[in-house]
Amino acid sequence: MLKMGNGMYPPLAVTKQREIDEAIAGVVRELAPDVVRIRYDIGQDSTGDWAIFFRVILSDQAGQRKLRQVATEVVRLLENRLDFPSMGVFPYHNFRSVSEQEQIQEEAWA
């Protein structure tokens, strides 16, 4: 989903959503069952720069025993598969476990 702020032209990433979706699907396949799903939005960060905001749901087991390892691997694989600078976005990654999401029930993470 694109979130536009001050009328700036959207980044190239907006036209690359199929490529982004394919990269995400590959990361989820590769890191399953630790990574359950990844969602994202393209928008402007707090400084007005264009960004891609990833929301990563991890299995409860991954969240408990190896959060840092799995998170590092998610970030690395996404950076290897997507050229963020050429897409005109800076990546942000947020992580949550399945049980955290069940408790919070935030729709954007569903």
| Contact (Cβ atoms closer than 8 angstroms) between residue 14 and residue 40 | no
Contacts of 86 (CB under 8 A, 6+ apart): 12
The pLDDT profile of the chain, 110 residues, written as one tens digit per residue, is 555 555 568 899 999 999 999 999 999 999 999 999 999 999 999 999 999 999 999 999 886 668 889 999 999 999 999 999 999 999 999 999 988 888 888 888 88
Q: What is the DSSP string of 46-64?
A: TTS-EEEEEEEEE-HHHHH
Whether 1 is covered by a domain: the verdict is no
Specify the number of domains making up the chain. Answer: 1
Looking at residue 92, which CATH number applies to its domain? Answer: 3.30.300.30
Question: Range of 91's domain?
Answer: 11-109
Whether 77 is covered by a domain: the verdict is yes
> How many alpha carbons fall within 13 Å on the CB side of residue 41?
12
The whole-angstrom separation of Cα 110 and Cα 63 is 17
pTM, to two decimals: 0.87
